[in-house]
């Protein structure tokens, strides 16, 4: 019989406190635009968060990302100008009532946050053939998005706010950061300590959209096949858990 390693169970399962910590991080993460404080981010903190991003899964382990750490006020100013230009155009795309709300929203914290970070994707990083990217070519882009999410969650666990700014033309962003033509900018993130984190998405509070009930999004075996609480115990569990993590 295989000898039981006493540490084995600990490696398989996290303790209740550890699990709580993870869910707390996930459910308390917010997109931050307006509550940044200028306080510098210590190198050891930012280094840990960058390591978390670097340990994201990636297709064929290609690790297609780079992290452009932007601290220069001039570079931030250039990105901000690109945002202002794109944001003006964006507001016109929504019908009159929504356009008014749109213009009242704060959608970036580029200048107020002490550090901005651009996470990129080098689509050629490990050559043309990558394990897992042979059929669906966009998997490398998704890998860099995984790095973004790791970054966002680790930052939250460190008490740092992160705001993703995507209202900027790709060309303008690449110019501002001198990103070569074959590198794709995936996310431009504003990062810093904050005065507070909101408990709900700002767009929800502003009445833009509500969170969709999870059970509306569940299909079984085939696209569009929904089940109700009587038909499937998972559906009733999901409905019961609608306040998760709540007091869990």
Alpha-carbon distances of 4 from 8, 126, 161, rounded to whole Å: 7, 39, 42
Phi-psi region of 176 (alpha: psi -120 to 50; beta: other; left: phi over 0): alpha
214-244 burial: b if 16+ Cβ within 10 Å, else e: ebeeeeeeeeeeebeeeeeeebeebeeeeee
Residue 153 CB partners (closer than 8 Å, separation 6+): 25, 26, 29, 52
Task: Rank residues 172 and 203 by Cβ distance to ligand FNR and give the closer one.
Answer: 203
Q: Which two tokens stand for residue 212?
A: 């969709």
Q: Pick from 50, 56, 110, 165: which binds ligand FNR (CB under 6 A)?
A: 165
Alpha-carbon distances of 180 from 76, 81, 174, rounded to whole Å: 18, 20, 7
SS3 assignment, position 185: strand
Task: Rank residues 31 and 112 by Cβ distance to ligand FNR and give the closer one.
Answer: 31
Q: Pick from 28, 166, 229, 236: which binds ligand FNR (CB under 6 A)?
A: 166
Q: Pick from 22, 111, 157, 203: which binds ligand FNR (CB under 6 A)?
A: 203
Least separation in angstroms between residue 51's CB and ligand FNR is 22
SS3 assignment, position 102: helix
> How many Å apart are CA 221 and CA 194, to the nearest integer?
43
Task: Rank residues 158 and 232 by Cβ distance to ligand FNR and give the closer one.
Answer: 158
Task: Rank residues 33 and 133 by Cβ distance to ligand FNR and give the closer one.
Answer: 33
Least separation in angstroms between residue 137's CB and ligand FNR is 19
Least separation in angstroms between residue 68's CB and ligand FNR is 17
Residues 89-118 that bind ligand FNR (CB under 6 A): 107-108
Q: How many chain residues interact with ligand FNR (CB under 6 A)? A: 12
Q: Pick from 48, 201, 227, 245: which binds ligand FNR (CB under 6 A)?
A: 201
Task: Rank residues 108 and 215 by Cβ distance to ligand FNR and give the closer one.
Answer: 108
Site string for ligand FNR, 3-42 (x = CB under 6 A): ---------------------------xx-x---------
Q: Which residues bind ligand FNR (CB under 6 A)?
A: 30-31, 33, 107-108, 163-167, 201, 203
């Amino acid at each position: 019989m295989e000898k039981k390693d006493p540490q084995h169970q600990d490696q398989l399962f996290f303790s209740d406190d550890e699990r709580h910590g993870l869910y707390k991080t996930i459910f308390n993460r917010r997109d931050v635009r307006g509550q940044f404080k200028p306080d510098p981010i210590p190198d050891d903190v930012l280094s840990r968060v960058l390591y978390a991003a670097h340990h994201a899964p990636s297709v064929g382990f290609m690790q297609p990302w780079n992290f452009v750490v932007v601290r220069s006020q001039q570079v931030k100013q250039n990105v901000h100008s690109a945002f202002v230009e794109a944001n003006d155009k964006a507001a016109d795309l929504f019908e009159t009532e929504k356009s008014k709300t749109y213009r009242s929203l704060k959608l970036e914290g580029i200048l107020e946050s002490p550090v901005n970070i651009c996470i990129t994707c080098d689509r050629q990083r490990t050559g043309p053939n990558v394990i897992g990217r042979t059929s669906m070519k966009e998997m490398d882009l998704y890998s860099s998005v995984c790095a973004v999410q790791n970054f966002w969650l680790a930052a939250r666990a460190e008490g740092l706010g992160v705001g993703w700014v995507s209202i900027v033309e790709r060309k303008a962003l690449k110019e501002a950061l001198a990103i070569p033509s074959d590198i794709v900018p995936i996310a431009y993130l504003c990062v810093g300590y904050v005065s507070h984190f909101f408990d709900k998405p700002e767009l929800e509070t502003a009445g833009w959209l509500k969170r969709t009930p999870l059970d509306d999004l569940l299909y079984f075996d085939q696209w569009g096949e929904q089940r109700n609480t009587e038909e499937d115990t998972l559906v009733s569990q999901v409905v019961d858990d609608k306040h998760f993590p709540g007091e869990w």
